[in-house]
Structure 1
Amino acid sequence: MPLHQRKLEIIIKMSAANGVRRVWVGQNGLLSTPAVSAVIRERVGVDGSKATGAFILTASHNPGGPHEDFGIKYNMENGGPAPEAITDEMFENTKTITEYLIAEDLPNVDISAIGVTSIGGPEGQFDVEVFDSASDYVKLMKSIFDFELIRKLLSSPKFTFCYDALHGVAGAYANRIFVEELGAQESSLLNCIPKEDFGGGHPDPNLTYAKELVARMGLGKSNSEVDPPEFGAAADGDADRNMILGKSFFVTPSDSVAIIAANAVDAIPYFSSGLKGVARSMPTSAALDVVAKHLNLKFFEVPTGWKFFGNLMDAGLCSICGEESFGTGSDHIREKDGIWAVLAWLSILAYKNKENLGGDKLVTVEDIVRKHWATYGRHYYTRYDYENVDAGAAKDLMAYLVKMQSSLNEINIIVKGARSDVSNVVNADEFEYKDPVDGSVSKHQGIRFLFEDGSRLVFRLSGTGSEGATIRLYIEQYEKDPSKTGRDSQEALAPLVEVALKLSKMQEFTGRSAPTVIT
C-alpha cells in the first residue's frame, strides 16, 4: 500500500477516536492542495455537511517518498493554510502531550471506491465519504474561465501545447481538464502518472528540475525538438506551483502574475467586473507594482506565505496575487493554484488570438511578454538558491548583513568598489509587515537593499527542506528604456550579481563558489 494511504488510515482512525463524525477523502487519497481549498470552500457532503478543515499530506516541491520529505499541512475552514497563532499552539501542545487516541480496531476503508462507508466508531456512527478528486475542482475552473474559447485555441492547427506534472498530483487533473474538457492531445501530457516518490525526481517546476519539459520547449542544452510547442507548463508535487514557458522562452513567475493581472479583466470572465486589488510577496519583483499603479489598483507587499494573501482576500481587498517561488493564484480559493495559472495564460492567449485562430501566425507567449515590457518596463530578475548550507554559517551571514545596514555610506563604498556602473543604495532594511486586516506584525522577513533606479537585492533564509539551511538571494534590475528591455537577462543582471556576492561575502561565509540552483 502506498505510503500516503497508510498515513491516511492513521488520520481516519485518530479522527474516529476523537469524536469526528465525518471525514472526506479524495479518491485514491489524491487531492491537489488547491483542490483541497476548493473542496473546503465549495463542497457540500451527501448529508449536507461542510468541511471545517483539512490535513494535506505532501512533500510539496521537495523530493518525496519513504526516504525523502513527507510533510503534513493543515488548512482552516476558509480553505487557507493555518495561521501562525494556530500552528504555534499546535507546536506548544506537542511539548506536553503524553497520549493520543486512535481507533486501531476500526476496519480500513477502501478509498479507491467512491461512496460513503458508515462505521460504528468509539464515539458513535462514523462516516468516511470518498469522492471524485477532480469533479469539484473542474466545476470551479469552468465557472472562472471560458473553456469554449480555450478549446478553440487548443484546436487551432497553429497552436501546440505541453504540460508536465512531474509525477505529482497534478497528473490526476491534467487529463480530465486539458484532454477531456479542452480537447488537447493526450500526447501533450508529460509525467502525469502520480507517484509517491515523484519517479525519483525533484518536483520543483523550474528550469533546473523540469528538464524534460525544458528540452521539449527548446530551452535545453541538448534540445531534440525540431519545432517546440507554442506553450508549455509544469507543476510541482502538490500542484500549487507552476512554470510557464513559450517556444524557447521562459516567463519568470514575477512577470507571470503581473501579466495575468494586466489582462485579467479582458481575458478571464471571473474578473470581468474588475479587480479588488493585487498583492505579491516581498521577494517577488516589482513588476506587479507597476501594473497596479498603471491600473490604479490597491496593492499590497506581504511576507512570504500564502496565509497573508488569504487575510487580504477574506477582507475583499485582493483578487490576484503571486510569489516569485512559482506560486500564483486568486481569490477563488485560499491557496496558490498551478492549474489555475495555466488556464489564466491559456485564456490570455485565446483572447489575444480569438479573431485569428485560423490564421497563419498567432500571438505567442513571447509576444505578450515583450509587449508587456514595452508598456511597463522590464524587471530583469533571478534567484540564487544556496541549499543545505551549514545553519550556523547562514545565520552569521544574515547577521552580518543586518549589521551592515546601519551605514548606507559603507554599503555604497562596497557597491561602487564592486561595480561603478550600479546606482546607489538608497534604503536598506529588514522587511516588516503589519497586516491591514488583523493588525498582526511579522518581523525579520528578509533583508533588503533598495537602489535608486528601482533595482533590489533581497536575502532570505528558507526552511522548506529537511537538511541544513537554504539562503535565497534575489536580484532585480529594473529597466524602463524600451530599447534596453530585450537584452540578455544574464548580461543585464551581471553587475548586480557581482555586487550581491561581494556585499554579502557569500563565499567567505558559506564556502560556496556557486549556487545550487539558479532560477
Structure 2
Amino acid sequence: MILTVSTKPYADQKPGTSGLRKKVPVFQQENYAENFIQAIFDSLEGFEGQTLVIGGDGRYYNREVIQVALKMAAANGFGKVMVGKGGILSTPAASHVIRKYHAFGGIVLSASHNPGGPTEDFGIKYNIGNGGPAPEKITDAIFDRTRNIDSYKIADVADIDLDTVGSFDLAGMTVEVIDPVTDYADLMETLFDFPAIRSLISGGFRVVIDSMSAVTGPYAVEILEKRLGAPAGSVRNEVPLPDFGHHHPDPNLVHAKELYDDVMSADGPDFGAASDGDGDRNMVVGKGMFVTPSDSLAMIAANATCAPGYRQGIAGIARSMPTSAAADRVAEKLGIGMYETPTGWKFFGNLMDAGKVTVCGEESFGTGSDHVREKDGLWAVLFWLNIVAARKQSVKEIVEAHWAEYGRNYYSRHDYEGVDTDNANALVTALRAKLGSLPGTTINGLVVSAADDFAYHDPIDHSVSKNQGIRILFEGGSRIVFRLSGTGTSGATLRLYVERYEPDASRHGIETQAALADLIAAAEEVAEIKRYTGMNEPTVIT
C-alpha cells in the first residue's frame, strides 16, 4: 500500500558540497529525512522503472534511513534498488556500482570524515548516473523543493532484511541486496599490478592500513590481506562501527597519529595508510616520510604509467584551487591539460566525462581518477603500493626524487573549527573588501602580486561558480588562500592554505611550518584571524 503523508518544510535543508549534513537528532525530527529524500525524487525526471543504488558508511542512523529510502523509492516508481549488504557501500564503491550497472543514480548516506554516533553527524547526498555527486543545478532544485514540500510518498510495508544477499520484493519494486566489496575489489585488480604488489609484500615489505572503524575495513581486508597476501591484522580497526569506535574518522596527522608514530618508529612498518568514514579519503605514510595530499596527487600523476590501468598515460590532471600547484609542474612536463576547479568532487565529473582529465585531487586527503566519479581512498593507497613495487624504492626515496626533479611545494592547511558563523562571515567580508587595494602592497615583507575571490568557468557546461575562495598571491609564487568549508555541521570552519614553491633542492629539508612562517604571519596580519575567531592557534594543522 502506497501512502501520501502530509508534511511541513524545514528551512535548513540546503545541500553543501557533499549533500545535506546535520547532527543525528536533526535528522531524527519528524519527516526530516523523508522531506529531503522526497525533494530529491521530485527534482528528478525519467526514473520510472529505473534502478537506484543506496548505501552508506555504516554510521549511526544508517540502517533506519535506508529502510525509509527503500520504501520511498518504491512509492515513487523506481523499478529496482541495489543496496549494499548491511546497508554498507563505501562512497567510491557506490559510484562504481552506479556506473557498472547503469543505474539512474544513487543515494549515499554519509557524513564522510565527520564523527558518528547518536549525537554526532549524518548525511544524505544524491549521485547522478555518471556515479558522481549531483551538480549544483540539481542540488539547487532539491533545496528549492525542500522549502515548499507538503507531502511525501512511502510504501506501508515491512522492513527489508539488509543482512542477506539476494533479491526481495518491496511493494512491487525489486530490492537486490549485494555484496558491497566484490565489485570494487575486482575493479582494483584491473587497475593495479597485484602480482607485483603481492611480491613486494611477500618479500618482507610491511604494510598496515588503519580503517578507523569505518567503512573501508571489509574492503581493505579483502584486498590487502586476502588478495595481496598481507598478514592477518595488517588492516587495523577493520570492523565498521556506528560510532567509529569513538574515533574521529578523518585520516590526517592528528586523528591517525598512532599509525604515523608506528610507521616512523625504528621497528615499525614500511608503509602505513588510513582512510576515512566513507572511504573516499586517504593518508599515506612511508618510513621517514609523510606524503602530503597535494604531493600525492602530483606523484601519482608523474608515475601513473607504473600501473597497468594507466600504462597508456593520462589525459590531464585536475585539482581544487586550494590544492598546491605541485601537480601543475607535472602536467607541464607531460604536456597535458591542467585544470583548477572549486572545492567539491562534482566539478571534476564534467572534465572526466569529457575525457579531459584522468587523475584529480584535493588537498583535503582526497585523490581519484576516472575509474569512478568520487575520490577513492583505497585506490590511492594501492597506487602508491604499485609505484613502490614498480620503482623498487621506498616512499621517502620516491618523494625526494620527485622534489629534486620538479621542486618542492611547501604547503600546509590550518583549520579553525567551530567558529561562530557570523564572525567567520565577517572575516571573509572584511577580507573581500580589501582585495582591490592589495596588489602592490607589502604584507609582512611580502609583496602582493594579485588578489581575488576565485571564480570557476566550467569549460564543459559553461556554468560559473563564484566566491570559491580568497586568494592572495605574492611575488615569487607564494600564496595564501582563505575559504569557509561546507563539510561541518556546527559553526563554521575557516581554512587557511599556505604555499611556497622552492626549486632549490638544498632547501628541501626545512620543516614545513618553519618554511611557511612568514606567510602564516602575513595571513594573520591581513585577515586578523585571532580577532575574528577568538583562537590563538588552529584546531588542526595538516
User: Secondary structure at 1:199's aligned position in 2?
Assistant: helix
Match of 1:277 among 285, 306, 316: 316
Aligned to 2:52: none
CA offset at residue 107 of structure 1? 2.1
Pairing partner for 2:295 from 252, 255, 280: 255
Amino acid at match of 2:450: N
Distance 1:374 1:19 in 2: 58
Partner amino acid, structure 2, of 1:85:
K
Cα drift, residue 248 of structure 1: 3.3
Match of 1:192 among 238, 256, 264: 238
RMSD: 1.3
What TM-score results when the alignment is normalised by the length of structure 1? 0.91
Please identify which structure carries the higher strand content. 2
3-state SS of the aligned residue for 1:54? strand
Partner of 2:389: 350
Counterpart in 1 of 2:92?
A: 34
Report the CA distance between 1:185 and its aligned residue. Answer: 1.1
Q: Does the CA-based 8 Å contact 1:150-1:347 persist in structure 2? A: yes
Q: In structure 2, what is the equivalent of residue 471 of structure 1?
A: 494
Of 235, 252, 264, 2:304 maps to: 264
Residue in structure 2 matched with residue 146 of structure 1 by the alignment: 193
Whether 2:76 is the aligned partner of 1:18: answer yes
**Corresponding letter in the other structure for 1:364:** S
CA drift of 1:226 comes to 4.3
- 2:48 matches 1:9: no
Query: Residue type of the partner of 1:145?
Result: F
- Count of residues in correspondence between the two structures: 484
2:23 counterpart residue number: none
* Moved segments of 4+, more than 2 Å: none
Letter in 2 for 1:239: G
5+ residue gaps in structure 2? 1-57
Q: Deviations over 1:315-371 (max 9, x none)?
A: 010000000000000001100000000010001000011xxxxxxxxx211110011
Tell me, in whole angstroms, the C-alpha distance in 2 between the residues paired with 1:96 and 1:186.
Answer: 53
User: How far apart, CA to CA, are the structure 1 residues paired with 2:147 and 2:517?
Assistant: 48
**2:129 aligned partner, one-letter code:** E
**1: distance between equivalents of 2:515 and 2:75?**
60
Query: Does residue 398 of the first structure (1) align with residue 428 of the second (2)?
Result: yes
Question: Take 2:107 and 2:118, find their aligned partners in 1: how far apart are those partners?
Answer: 19
Greater shift in the superposed pair: 247-256 or 341-350: 247-256
CA distance in 1, matches of 2:465, 2:212: 34
Determine which of 516, 520, 532 is the counterpart of 1:493: 516
Number of the residue aligned with 2:203: 156
Q: Distance in 1 between matches of 2:358 and 2:421?
A: 37
Aligned partners of 2:134 and 2:346 also within 8 Å: yes
Aligned to 2:365: 326
Contact 2:61 2:122 in 1 (8 A): no
Is contact 1:228–1:248 with CA below 8 Å preserved after alignment?
A: no
Q: What TM-score do the two structures reach when normalised by structure 2?
A: 0.88
3-state SS, counterpart of residue 378 of structure 2: helix
1:113 pairs with 132, 156, 164, which one? 164
Cα deviation per residue 1:12-38 (whole Å; 9 max; x = unaligned)? Answer: 111111122211111111110000000
Asked whether the equivalents of residues 30 and 172 of structure 1 are also in contact (C-alpha less than 8 Å), the reply is: no
How many angstroms does 1:3 deviate by?
2.5
Identity of aligned residues (%): 53
For the residues of structure 1 that align with 2:346 and 2:148, how far apart are their CA atoms?
27
Summarize the alignment of residues 304-453 of structure 1 with structure 2, pairs less than 5 Å apart: 304-353=343-392, 363-408=393-438, 412-413=441-442, 415=443, 418=444, 420=445, 422=446, 424-453=447-476
What's the CA shift for 1:444?
0.2
Which of 107, 113, 130 is the equivalent residue of 2:177?
130
> Which AA in structure 2 matches 1:448?
R
Deviation at 1:75, TM superposition (A): 0.5
1:461 paired to 2:484? yes
Secondary structure of 2:107's aligned partner? strand
| Residue type of the alignment partner of 2:454 | F
SS in structure 2 opposite 1:304? coil
CA distance in 2, matches of 1:96, 1:396: 30
| Structure 1 counterpart SS, 2:180 | coil
Cα deviation digits, residues 415-443 of structure 1 (max 9, x gap): 1xx3x3x4x22111110110000000000
Match among 97, 103, 117 for residue 65 of structure 1: 117
The alpha-carbon deviation at position 213 of structure 1 amounts to: 1.1
Residue aligned with 1:29, SS: strand
Structure-1 separation of matches of 2:240 and 2:377: 16
How is 1:225-244 mapped onto 2 (pairs within 5 angstroms)?
A: 225-244=265-284
Task: Give the residue type in structure 2 aligned to 1:498.
Answer: A
Structure 2: distance between partners of 1:445 and 1:63: 26
Segment of structure 1 superposing worse, 61-70 or 232-241:
61-70
Letter of the 1:425 counterpart: V
What is the rounded CA distance, in whole Å, between the counterparts of 1:467 and 1:129 in structure 2? 36
> In the TM superposition, what is the alpha-carbon distance from 1:65 to its structure 2 partner?
2.1
Deviation at 1:187, TM superposition (A): 1.9
1:231-279 Cα offsets, whole Å, 9 max, x none, are: 11000000000001011321100000000000002x1111111211101
